[in-house]
A and B are shown apart, each in its own frame.
Chain A
Amino acid sequence: MNNSILVVVLASAVTYGTPLLYSALGELVAERSGVLNLGVEGMMLVGAVMGFWAVQTIPGPGPLVLILSVGVAAIAAGLMALIHAFLVITLRANQIVSGLALTIFAGAGGLSSYLGNDLNLADAPAKHAFGAFFPHGMQTLPVLGPIFFEQNALVFVAWVFVAGVAFYLARTRPGLNLKAVGESPAAADAMGINVTRYRYIHTVVGGAFAGIGGATFSLAITPQWVDGLTQGAGWIAIALVIFAFWRPALCLVGAYFFGAFAGLPFTLQARGVTIAPELFQALPYVMTILVLVTVSAAGARRRLGAPGALGTPYVREER
């Protein structure tokens, strides 16, 4: 039963959806403040490499080292986001250009590769890795075993993050202020909200989330460092935010949906079902394009929850 296609696909949806979930959630937080950050892929890779460096370097008991490593990954990626924040908030540079530049600078072939090679991280397994969180006996339970009990701690922490972000946005004063900043910075400014500070904080926090997403690869899914190991997950995460209409709970659904798509062709192949792999690998992107087209109509965009001021710098004098 645990080897049935449905269970295997659902299990891989959760495993491979998790890094997407962290990064998409981070991007959602940044975008809610009105800052679009296309540097997710680059920030994930910096998180992956620095998290891996930490796990190889920090001495101590495994669980503690892993927690610290995730923290290092978050801080490193947060610093990358700070560059973006400085460029687009303080210098009011074009957000799209700056984000792309961040991915090129920090991503594969850039800073993350330099760090990984310079710190000699390649060609070695992680000293500690996030394994199954629950005891072995529970992992063999039917259906729930592979889907739930075989998963690592980062999967469950992600759920806490989703609930936390949802609660923050809907029920807390700063969360409501954040939405105001993203919708109409001028109005928020008039209300006495510090637009610049809100945008800085949420862009950096968003970057930190992406760093955890990257560390999910290097500390849990494939516990090793290789150049460019996220392989485009950052781009899917950006699409996911739109796919999820800027809502945290839908981010979870979308991330697992994309995770399932990523695993399905291989599961089918192993059962002797051959479908053109190109077709399957293209499907998530086809879905993304469809969603993009749907939400791009201006009316739909507002109705579906795109922050009104997304992508535009705020200049008080030009109000």
Chain B
Amino acid sequence: MSKSKVALVAALTAVVATASLVVTAVGSAKQHDVFKAAWIYVGPHNDGGWSQAHDEGRLAVVKALGSKVETTYKENVPEGPQVSQVIDSLVKDGNKIIFATSFGYQDAVLAAAKKYPTVDFEMATGYKTATNMADYYGAGEDAIYLSGMAAGAATKSGVVGYVVPFAIPEVIRHTNAFALGVQATHPGATVKIVWTNSWFSPATEKKAAQSLKAAGADVIGQNVDSPSAGQYSESAGLPWVGYDSDAQKFAPKQWLTGAVYNWGVYYIPRVKAAMAGTWKTGSYYGSLSDGFTKLAPFGPLVSSATKAAIATKLAALKAGTFDEFAGPLYDQAGKLRVPAGKKLSLGDLMAIDWLVKGVQGSPKG
């Protein structure tokens, strides 16, 4: 290295060091007495799907509690060793409640809950709890069932494609609900599934939708997070059922509807409780009734007869007079899994590993 270059490097180092000092100073000036809450997302905060729905919940907290709370989020956090590091840094930054919003974070969150007993942890879609770690999710399957009804009404060939991420109970439960909804409006229909092995992967989701169309599907549904299968459906002229967020703008003609979540319903009271020191662990399971989950607005292809049929089922689900997982339910091989008069309990649904009759594809991914 020549002399001039040494000087250049030294100058650069000095600039960077000064800049970081300035940044630290600004950061510490902001340290006043506000309550800090943090969210961890598996995709970008504006993914047009799952993570975006969580971020809208975070913004609902900001709106409800204003300057009393300071929220942050970490996005694109993979379900791996990075989760622990992200949690460590969030705790170090003074966050007192942390919402982890993807299933694969669970074990890292449980470990962190042990490590940081004074921080409240919230694990979305999980099933493990601790004194300072709660679980939360909700009956997305009920809204997904209703969205499946729209797909069933739209299919002519009787084959509906469904793009699915990982073979875990949550997704299998949703797939079953979707298929049962399809069959409610199109008896005997099949639902073909393709696993993408990723929650959020736009190009892969498009590939999956393309392959489903080539295999005979004339309606596409999804349990993955990006709207790219919808963009493909729009260009290929296939009706599309979305998921997580109202994504009609990505497929204005072909959008049918989609199950969506309102996480704010849960986030606001939980952050309030944590601020007041009254936070307690638990397992929340939201529903159509408390506004946690609902159906997004319908697109132009949905007929009024279909809308009426969905409205009837929605009322019955809310009233508790209908349960999509009531028997008789058969599995893919035609074996009776749930006899008439019985239904799957929440516990069964949380561990479900078999697909209902009419679904084509492996429940193992």
Q: Which residues of A contact B (CB under 8 A)?
A: 2-3, 8, 12, 16, 91, 108-109, 113, 117, 122-125, 131, 217, 221-224, 226-229, 231, 262-263, 266-267, 269-272, 274, 277-278, 281
- Say whether B208 faces chain A, with CB atoms less than 8 Å apart: yes
Whether the Cβ atoms of A227 and B75 lie closer than 8 Å is yes
Knowing A8-B214, A125-B249, A266-B207 are in contact, say whether A131-B76 is a contact too (CB < 8 A): no
14 pairs, A vs B, C-beta closer than 8 Å: A125-B231, A222-B203, A222-B206, A222-B228, A224-B228, A226-B44, A228-B76, A263-B207, A266-B210, A267-B214, A269-B194, A270-B208, A277-B195, A281-B197
Whether the Cβ atoms of A217 and B46 lie closer than 8 Å is no
Say how far A277's CB is from chain B's closest CB, in angstroms.
5
Residues of B within 8 A of A117 (CB): 46
Whether the Cβ atoms of A263 and B250 lie closer than 8 Å is no
Residues of B within 8 A of A222 (CB): 202-203, 206, 226, 228, 231
Residues of A within 8 A of B211 (CB): 8, 12, 263, 266-267, 269-270
Residue in B closest to A4 when the chains form the complex, CB atoms? B214
| Cβ contact of B215, chosen from A3, A217, A226, cutoff 8 A | A3
| Cβ contact of B365, chosen from A108, A122, A262, A277, cutoff 8 A | A277
Whether the Cβ atoms of B360 and A272 lie closer than 8 Å is yes
Whether the Cβ atoms of B75 and A217 lie closer than 8 Å is no
Residues of B within 8 A of A124 (CB): 249
A56 to B119, CA, bound (A): 43
A278 to B47, CA, bound (A): 24
- Say whether B286 faces chain A, with CB atoms less than 8 Å apart: no
Whether the Cβ atoms of B76 and A227 lie closer than 8 Å is yes
Residue in A closest to B193 when the chains form the complex, CB atoms? A269
Residue in A closest to B47 when the chains form the complex, CB atoms? A226
Whether the Cβ atoms of A270 and B202 lie closer than 8 Å is no
- Say whether B364 faces chain A, with CB atoms less than 8 Å apart: yes
Whether the Cβ atoms of A125 and B46 lie closer than 8 Å is no
Knowing A125-B231, A224-B250, A262-B207 are in contact, say whether A274-B362 is a contact too (CB < 8 A): yes
Say how far B212's CB is from chain A's closest CB, in angstroms.
5
- Say whether B313 faces chain A, with CB atoms less than 8 Å apart: no
Knowing A226-B48, A270-B194 are in contact, say whether A8-B210 is a contact too (CB < 8 A): yes
The number of chain B residues touching the other chain, given as a range, is: 35 or more
Within 8 A of A (CB), among B333-365: 360-362, 364-365
Whether the Cβ atoms of B194 and A266 lie closer than 8 Å is yes
Say how far A174's CB is from chain B's closest CB, in angstroms.
31
In this complex, the member of A117, A223, A229, A270 whose beta carbon has the largest number of chain B beta carbons within 10 angstroms is: A270
A266 to B267, CA, bound (A): 37
Whether the Cβ atoms of B203 and A224 lie closer than 8 Å is no
Whether the Cβ atoms of B210 and A12 lie closer than 8 Å is yes
Whether the Cβ atoms of B203 and A229 lie closer than 8 Å is yes
- Say whether B161 faces chain A, with CB atoms less than 8 Å apart: yes
Whether the Cβ atoms of A122 and B46 lie closer than 8 Å is yes
Say how far B148's CB is from chain A's closest CB, in angstroms.
19
Residue in B closest to A273 when the chains form the complex, CB atoms? B362
- Say whether B235 faces chain A, with CB atoms less than 8 Å apart: yes
A131 to B216, CA, bound (A): 22
Whether the Cβ atoms of A270 and B212 lie closer than 8 Å is yes
Whether the Cβ atoms of B228 and A231 lie closer than 8 Å is no
Say how far B89's CB is from chain A's closest CB, in angstroms.
14
Chain B positions 40 through 51: 1 when the CB is less than 8 Å from some CB of chain A, otherwise 0: 000110111000
Whether the Cβ atoms of B361 and A272 lie closer than 8 Å is yes
- Say whether B52 faces chain A, with CB atoms less than 8 Å apart: yes
Residues of B within 8 A of A8 (CB): 210-211, 214
Identify the 7 closest CB pairs spanning chains A and B, nearest first. A122-B46, A270-B215, A227-B44, A222-B202, A270-B211, A266-B211, A267-B211
Residues of A within 8 A of B43 (CB): 226-227
Whether the Cβ atoms of A131 and B194 lie closer than 8 Å is no
Residue in B closest to A5 when the chains form the complex, CB atoms? B214
Residues of A within 8 A of B186 (CB): none
Residue in B closest to A230 when the chains form the complex, CB atoms? B203
Say how far B362's CB is from chain A's closest CB, in angstroms.
4
A212 to B175, CA, bound (A): 38
Residues of A within 8 A of B75 (CB): 227
Residues of B within 8 A of A266 (CB): 194, 196, 204, 207-208, 210-211
Whether the Cβ atoms of B250 and A125 lie closer than 8 Å is yes
| Cβ contact of B364, chosen from A226, A271, A274, cutoff 8 A | A274
A269 to B215, CA, bound (A): 10
A270 to B213, CA, bound (A): 9
Say how far B162's CB is from chain A's closest CB, in angstroms.
11
Chain B positions 184 through 201: 1 when the CB is less than 8 Å from some CB of chain A, otherwise 0: 000000001111110011
Whether the Cβ atoms of B202 and A226 lie closer than 8 Å is yes
A266 to B43, CA, bound (A): 22
Residues of B within 8 A of A271 (CB): 215
- Say whether B5 faces chain A, with CB atoms less than 8 Å apart: yes
Residues of B within 8 A of A229 (CB): 202-203
Within 8 A of A (CB), among B210-245: 210-212, 214-217, 226-228, 231, 235
